[in-house]
Amino acid sequence: MSRHTKIVATLGPASSEAQVLERMVHAGVDVVRMNFSHGTAEDHVARAVAIREAAALAGRPVGILADLQGPKIRVGKFADGRVELHRGAPFILDARCELGDAERVGLDYKDLPKDVSAGDVLLLDDGRLKLSVVRVLNHEIHTVVKVGGTLSNNKGINRQGGGLTAPALTAKDMDDIKTAARIGVDFVAVSFPKSAADMYMARQLMRASGVDALLIAKIERTEAVANLDEILDASDGIMVARGDLAVEVGDAAVPALQKKMIRAARDRNKLTITATQMMESMIVSPVPTRAEVSDVANAVLDGTDAVMLSAETASGKFPVEVVEAMSRVCLEAEKSSDVSLDRDVLNRVFTRIDQSIAMAAIWTAWHLKVKAIASLTQTGSTALWMSRLNSGVPIYALTPEAGARNQMTLYREVFPLLMSQSHQDRDMLLWEAEQILLDQGVVERGDLIVLTIGEPIGASGGTNTLKIVRVGDHPRPDGAEH
């Protein structure tokens, strides 16, 4: 059985060797994430070369996602690397401090004192420590420790309830977009966007650098939740980044927000990645906890396109085993996924011919219980629309464009394949598509399949034909021997 939910794995020191990458691809990785918060441009370029070689050896496409660092607001460094903060003790965040101690620490975001005022609560290290702001004096934020603990170098800062004004794209991000262009990434994720304007700016910078990638907005700010609809309209997809989001809105609010965001994205024909601590225990353990298994399964049942691994594959002890475990959980959860095509299709309005063909293909495939759908596509749009409705029928997207094939590695239920589509005869192309499915072993002679294609051949957005065939029931159209 083919897994419909895709797996995104973050690359790092634990997953940089060619042998490990090959094993991860065989275990089921569909997209690799390059975290631009760590490593040099040359590190990312070398990993991109390695993953492409591993994918070629495995004979299956693997997409590459560049995750921009964004304005991660952090404390500076301590003289001793860390300090212990005790409840009730005073502590100063000082924009001009060079090396911190038990009384104060520097800031990498020098404008933070302008963003906070007395009464605000600052959350450090993903909410593990809490500071209450007493007063702000020029470049100093004077606080009292509400929840203490160990604070080490470069830990992140959030304000409870959000509202920090740091721009979504930094000078470093702009340089990293140029690195993404060198690599030829398939997806770019923007960290901490607050509005559609942030996403429009990112897209302009990508175009100026020659990056032809899908744009993913990471939803991790309170403002982003409020502006979700406009951010979705300005993006190709979203990442439900549950770590920083939980710090700003409160951990109890995240599960319902996850469901809401996935549903909103699917309704707008956008992609979704569910991320953060999905199998956190497997950084050091060869098996996940039962809670983690339930978390991954629930994301699958919510309809997410992909589930993401972070430190589990970047720096964990079991990068291959965690991919295998996640794949098993996804497969099992998909067996009980809710199919509500009747309701979903009846509640949609179609204004385009190609979109109508996509919906008709899904409807027909589900009701006729066909083995597979084969969609001949240039950009992957038809396959994307089909994948927004959960039918349980695998969609094989056949495209002559390597870039489109790699981008479709993130689409739920879609399995992208290269097909030359070098001639103009429609019946011949459909017959060739049938042969590709036979060669791949996904259908057998006698199976019923649904095919979609557009005329004129090769025109983007021109899907206008749906055909239902029984595999092997008709000869090669040009009369030649197969």
From 6, 33, 130, 412, the catalytic residue: 33
Amino acid at 200: Y
pLDDT of residue 425: 80
Percent above pLDDT 70 for the chain: 95
CB atoms within 10 A of CB 392: 14
Q: pLDDT tens digits for 366-376?
A: 889 999 999 99
From 276, 304, 377, 382, the catalytic residue: 276
pLDDT of residue 224: 95
pLDDT band at 210 (very low <50, low <70, confident <90, very high): very high
Is 342 a residue whose pLDDT tops 70? Answer: no
pLDDT of residue 458: 60
From 194, 218, 221, 405, the catalytic residue: 218
pLDDT band at 348 (very low <50, low <70, confident <90, very high): low
Q: What angle do helix axes 171-183 and 196-209 make, rounded to 10 degrees? A: 50
pTM of the entire structure?
A: 0.92
146 included as an active-site residue = no
pLDDT band at 345 (very low <50, low <70, confident <90, very high): low
Return the higher-pLDDT residue of 354 and 62: 62
74 included as an active-site residue = yes
pLDDT of residue 344: 63
Is 352 a residue whose pLDDT tops 90? Answer: no
pLDDT of residue 479: 66
pLDDT of residue 343: 61
Is 3 a residue whose pLDDT tops 80? Answer: yes
From 47, 74, 194, 270, the catalytic residue: 74
Please give the mean pLDDT across all residues of the chain. 92
143 included as an active-site residue = no
Is 428 a residue whose pLDDT tops 60? Answer: yes
348 included as an active-site residue = no
Is 102 a residue whose pLDDT tops 70? Answer: yes
Is 145 a residue whose pLDDT tops 60? Answer: yes
Q: pLDDT tens digits for 33-60?
A: 999 988 899 999 999 999 999 999 999 9
What average pLDDT score do residues 422-442 get?
A: 87
Q: pLDDT tens digits for 269-326?
A: 999 999 999 999 999 999 999 999 999 999 999 999 999 999 999 999 999 999 999 9
What average pLDDT score do residues 437-462 get?
A: 84
Is 120 a residue whose pLDDT tops 70? Answer: yes
Is 13 a residue whose pLDDT tops 80? Answer: yes
pLDDT of residue 427: 85
